[in-house]
Each structure stands twice: as structure tokens, then as C-alpha cells.
Amino acid sequence: MTLENTNEMTPDILKVAVIGAGHAGRGLASYLSIYGIDVTLFNRTFANIRAIRENGGIRVCGMYDTFAEITLITNNIRAAINDCQLIVVTVPAHTHSYYARIMAPHLQSGQVVLLMPGRTGGALEFMNTISYSSITRDVLVAEAETYSFVSRMVDEETVLLSKIKTSVEVSAFPAIRNKELLQALKPLPLNIKLAETVLETSFNNIGAMLHPTPTILSAGLLESRGGGYNHYHDAISPTVGRLLEKMDAERVRVAREFDTNPITLIEWLTSSYGARGTTLCECIKSIDAYDNVGSPSSLDHRYVLEDVPTGLVPISYFGKLAGIDTPTIDTVIDMACHLYDIDFWVEGRNIESLGLGGLSPLDVLHYVKTGELPEDMTVEQPLPDIFGLEVDEI
């Protein structure tokens, strides 16, 4: 049953709910609290937040040396989001549909839900999942292309904030609500830039390019040694780099079919980290920020379990919708299916779970801009639930 909007949210006091108390959620909640924002923090498993609940907040180190008080730390989703003007979802993208379902009965008119990040098709899947709720049109759903921080949990009580990203693009679904989104995010101490549509933020999913393939190709090393190498400098060799460049070229071709102008992987590395080189491998090797980045310690890692179903799979399905082949991306997906014994083609985001079944590329463009589907279209229902990973920066 949908919660009736009997409570009016106070406009002059910004209240933000952060959903997910992992590396990302704790970093964001702490940062917002430091800047005087009233923050509530939700985590599905109470044991993981027991220590900070008892302390009443989170110890912060790195960029700041302070204690961030958190107004409410809870595993009760209704209490967490009640009367919050903004809800920032920092859980792994492959659990977005689950959180959409548990939030839907408690969402209130005028609230903004920001998926940080949305990966590929996050806002579309979230809106499609809550479409049964009568309040859907009164809630603004948006996605960010990536996470705004570099943050890490040091222990159960402490988070390390080491970097705030200079610019993160966001977009509302539908795009006609972008100005409304910008106004809602304006009070946040974050570096936000508007993208034209959620297709732009979705197709600029750089993690899907950099994470799964090097992990899959290092499977033997992972299992025999438990990791212990540098994911970027060691696992992305010249040969692997060329494979990633082929995948990235396919991503770019698909994106352009949907009237977006995606940034290439090399362009992104150059603008984000000042990378130097003519090949992907050369650019990766030139990035000092990657020097201390380790590797997964097992194959049970979000680099595949999140980035394949919410990155590579939907990119491939968008390609199929537009008649664009993605043979390299499809090969990596198939390898992941065999390696993990999981049908990522079924578990991952597909055209139906994104609410795009039966649409042409032109229909999709119209839909993400206006929110309007052809009159004879029906909305599909959500994906299965998978848990256990953490949002991370790339």
C-alpha cells in the first residue's frame, strides 16, 4: 500500500537519505553531514551498521579529521526515507530493482531518488520497477554516471575520504525534468553537471569497460594466488588493452545510434586522470592514481557480478535493439556466463526489464526525453535479486 502524503517536507531544511552503508554510502553520508546536511543512513543488514549506530555517527579521516554525526542509522527503509527531500542510492547496481520494490510503498510526493551510480539503464529499471505505484509520477528518478568520491571503510567505525571528483554527470528520467533535478541537487556540496538524458549517463559506463574483462582473463591468477596484483597496471597488458579498445568501440557505436555523443575510454582517462599515450595500455600505465589499486581477492567480486549484468548486458541489448553487432562485448558476457555458471543474459538488465520492449531507437529517445510510451505499450516487471557487493570508484 502506498504511503499517503500526510507529512509535509520542510523546504528550508535539507534532509537526505543515503541508501547503502558500504564504502560509498558511508563516505557520502559523512561528507554531507560535515557540511551541515541532515542525513539518515540505511543498510539492509543491521549488523554491518551496529558500531556506527552505537556511536551516533562515523569517524572520518583523510581529507578531514572529524566525527560526522548521522541523524538516523537504521535498517528500516520506511524510517530512513520518510520526509527526505533527496534519496541517494549507493548500493550495487544489480540490486537496484530490489531496493526500488522495498522503497516504492513508502515514497512520498516530491521526493528525488538519485542512483549513484546508475550504471547502464539504472533510472529506467528503477522507474519500471516502481511503475505499479500510484505515486510514481510524483517522484523524480535520476542517475549519476559514477560515484562522486574516492572513499574506503577503514574499520567498522571509520571511513577514509581521499578525493572528491571534479565533475559527475547526472540526468533525470525523463529529461524534461532535468532543470527540476538540478534545482534539487543545487544545495549539495558536490560537483554536478547535467547530461542531456539518462542514455548519456548510461552509455558512459566506463567501469563496464575496465572491470570485467581483465578480471575474467586473470581468473587463474585470482584463484591460485587470491589476487595480490594491480588490476590496472598488471591485468591490462597491451593485448588486453587492445581487446578493451574493441569493446569500447562497440559501446561508442551503440551509443551513437541513440543520438548520444559518448566519451571514449581513452578520452575519459585523459580528462579524468591526465593520462598520456596513444593506446589504452599506455594511458593506463601513465596514471599514478592507479599505482596503489589492488586486485580482487576472488572471483566473487563486483567487477564481474555487477558490471556484467548492469553494464555489458544492457549495452549489448541496446545494440540488438538498434541493429548494431557487439561481438567482442558478447564474447566477454558468454565467458562470464560459463565461468560463473550464471546466465547473465537472463539475470542482467534487458530491454524488457528496462521497460523498452517493442520500442524502436526513435521511440526510446522520445521516451527518455518525455517519459511517454506509445499508447499500446505495457510496463514490464523487475529482475531477480542479487546481493553482496559494494559500490566503488573506477
CB 372 within 8 A of CB 80: no
CB 198 within 8 A of CB 314: no
In the set 38, 248, 307, 392, the catalytic residue is: 307
* 272/145 Cα distance (integer angstroms): 13
* 136/307 Cα distance (integer angstroms): 27
Torsion sign across C-alpha atoms 390, 20, 32, 135: positive
Catalytic, 307? Answer yes
* 325/119 Cα distance (integer angstroms): 21
Catalytic, 94? Answer no
Q: Which residues contact 319 (CB under 8 A, 6 or more apart)?
A: 250, 253, 254, 257, 325, 326, 329
CB 79 within 8 A of CB 43: no
In the set 106, 211, 231, 301, the catalytic residue is: 211
CB 147 within 8 A of CB 26: no
Query: Cβ of 297: how many Cβ atoms within 10 Å?
Result: 12
Q: Which residues are catalytic?
A: 211, 307
